[in-house]
Every structure is written in C-alpha cells, then in structure tokens.
Amino acid sequence: MAKRSTGTPRISVVTPLFNCLQYSRAMIESLRASLPPGLTHEIILVDDGSTDGTREWLSGLGEPFRVILNERNVGFGAATNRGAAQARGRVLALLNNDLVLCRGWIQPMLGALGALGRRAGLVGNIQFNADTLELDHAGIAINLKGKPEHDRRPPSLASLLLRPRRGVVAVTGACIVVRRDTWERLGGFDEAFFNGCEDVDLCLRARRAGLRNCVALRSRVLHHVSASPGRKRRDEENTRILVERWRPELAWIASREFTRLHFCRVAREPRDFPDPFDAWRMVFFMLGLTERPPEIPLAQANAAIDLELARWREMSSH
C-alpha cells in the first residue's frame, strides 16, 4: 500500500462523487490496492450533492482521505476544480468514481509524464468497458463533423513494446494525470461545460500552449461508462459550446482525415490532380511534415462543421 506523507505528497488523487455509492466503494478499494508502495499520496473526495448514503459513508473515512461536501450539485468540472484547488501533490490524478483500477495502472502514466518533461500536457490511458470488457478509450479524436469521439483502436504489440505512448488530441477526464502547476497554468476545467467536453476543452488549451497530450498504452483500467445520473443529458449543448469555441482548431484537426479521404479518392487517377504538387502537399500533411492543411480538405472540414452548427441552430429554434 502506498503511504500518505505528512509533507508534500507526490500524488493528489481527486475524485468527484455523485451517488453511485456501490461504484465509489469499489473504486476506492481498487485504488488503495493498486497504488504502489512508497508512493506518497493524498485522496481528495468531493461529494457533489449525493443523496444515496454516500455522505454517511464518507463521514466514516479517515486517513489518507480528505472530504469536501458541496451544498448542491455543481457538475463534474466544478467539483473537480474544487478538489484540485485543495491539492498539495506535485501531480494530480483525476479519477472518476466508477473506475476499477488494476495493479500497475499509475506507473506507465507517471512514466509518460516524466518522459515528456515540461512538454507534458494531459496523460490518459487505455480503458475497457467494465460491463462488456470491450475497448472504450485509447484517446479522443476529432471526427469528420469536427466533433470529439473516443478512439477505440487497440494498440499494436509493436507500440506496446517500442512506443508505449500514443500522441492524441485529447483524453477523457475519467482518468488523467497532469502536473499540478500545468493544471493551474491552464486554469483547470471550464465550468461553462456541465458534465461533458470539459476534458476536451482543457486538452485543446494544452495543445494551444504547446504541450503534448498522450495515452499511456501500458496503463489499463475498467470503467463503468457514464454511470453517474444525468451524465449524457447535456451532450449536445456541451458539444455545441466546444465546436463554437474551437472551430478553427477543430477544422484544422479534422482536415487530416479529409486529406486522407481526398487523396485516396483522386489518387486512383493522377490526372484528377489539377496541380501536380497537390499530391505531395497532401502526403506531407498526412505525415505531419507540414502543419498547414491543403485547401480542399480544409474547406471540406469547414463545410461539415457548418452543417453541424446549422443543425444545432435548428434544434434551438424549436
């Protein structure tokens, strides 16, 4: 069992709770069993207005737990921010209360944080659905509509052995490690989001600051996906806020996949390239050798985002 330090702990675990007492108990049990010996830590639990006996359970917890009670339900982002503001550790481990943590989950995440050094943004991990055991998260990508979605590509054996970190646009807030000074510099979760997209927004701010987000491929956990009550209720609104705020960046990111599709479509007939240099521009962009997307794929990405924005405007008018 890892030990709690009376000085400055290395790790501050921050977990917001909202009902789901059975999951919270199991998560805490798995957390205490999986933290490596000698890893100094504190565990900050923020109850966000639970009504199912969670508060009574919290009242019986002693060291190394610190408990914060919200008077009302303020949502995942705000509850996490409140816990992180009380953290003393050099590294924050932000964990959902519906995880099942396996032995060895934290070491690869700390290893990725250390390997990236001051370039490190947010580090996530591989997550499996606790009910189906299917791969649920290996990072977050931006789809052809400019919207975030979970990357469910399993890591290859070669990457696990040789390159155990996958660079990604974003990672889910269900299980993150981040340096506390980085969290503070970025400003934590934006509370304009309520139970959705605050993690992607934070990761995009990290990218804008020149930091690198990644998935530690050797870190594995189980996740009871979206178990908290009301978790998916505001998905559309949260995504709309995200897309409106980050539209240029999301179009830029989505244009990489549009470039691949456009290249495959026209490469079947080289004469379809009006400019012989277009093919090379696409190849260089797909390989990451140039930063600026080709004009046609970028226009396609912007058009797709326009359609989504129009759909949201139509929804709000009813």
Classify residue 7 by burial, with Cβ atoms within 10 Å: 0-12, 13-18, 19+: exposed
CB atoms closer than 10 angstroms to residue 311: 13
The pLDDT assigned to 268 comes to: 75
Residues in the chain with pLDDT values less than 50: 1
CA quadruple 97, 103, 109, 114: dihedral positive or negative? positive
Q: Give per-residue pLDDT as tens, 52-109.
A: 999 999 998 988 899 999 999 999 999 999 999 999 999 999 999 999 999 999 999 9
Q: Is the dihedral of CA 210, 217, 247, 265 positive or negative?
A: positive
Amino acid of residue 135: L
pLDDT at residue number 99: 97
Of 164, 163, 169, 157, whose CA–CA distance to 197 is shortest?
Answer: 169
pTM of the predicted model, to two decimals? 0.92
Model pLDDT, residue 62: 83
Q: Please give the pLDDT value at position 273.
A: 63
pLDDT reported for residue 218: 97
Mean pLDDT of the chain: 92
Q: What is the pLDDT of residues 187-200, one digit of tens each?
A: 999 999 999 999 99
With a CB cutoff of 8 Å and minimum separation 6, the contacts of 273 are 266, 279
**pLDDT for the residue 266:** 76
Task: Please tell me the predicted confidence (pLDDT) of residue 276.
Answer: 67
Query: What is the rounded radius of gyration, in angstroms, for the C-alpha atoms of the chain?
Result: 21
The per-residue pLDDT for 30 is: 98
Q: What is the pLDDT of residue 1?
A: 46
Q: Is the dihedral of CA 201, 204, 208, 209 positive or negative?
A: positive
| Domains of the chain from N-terminus onward | 11-223 (3.90.550.10), 235-317 (no CATH)
Q: What is the DSSP letter of 154?
A: P
Buried b (16+ CB within 10 A) or exposed e, 140-173: bbbeebbbbebbeeebeeeeeeeebbbebbbbbb
Rounded Cα distance between 242 and 248, Å, is 11
